[in-house]
Amino acid sequence: MERFTGRNVLVTGGGSGIGRATVHRILAEGGRVVAVDVNEDGLKGTLERAASDGTAGRLTTAALDVSDEAAVRTGVAGAVAGLGGLDVLVNAAGILRSSHTHETGLDFWNRLIAVNLTGTFLMTREALPALLAGGRGVVVNFSSTSATFAHPYMAAYAATKGGIQSFTHAIAAEYAGRGLRAVCVAPGSIDSGMTNDPGLPADADLGLLAKLSPALGRGFAGPETVAGVIAMLASEDGAFVTGTEIRIDGGTHM
Question: What are the catalytic residues?
Answer: 157
Which H or E run contains 142?
strand 138-142
DSSP-assigned letter for residue 145: G
DSSP-assigned letter for residue 251: T
How is 50-73 classified by DSSP, letter by letter? HHHHT-GGGEEEEE--TT-HHHHH
Contacts of residue 165, defined as CB under 8 A and 6 or more positions apart, other chains included, come to 141, 143, 147, 148, 184, 186, 245
Strand-strand pairing, 32-37 and 8-12? parallel
Contact in structure between 135 and 94 (CB atoms under 8 Å)? no
- Sign of the CA dihedral 111, 117, 225, 32? negative
Q: Report d(CA 254, CA 251) in Å as an integer.
A: 5
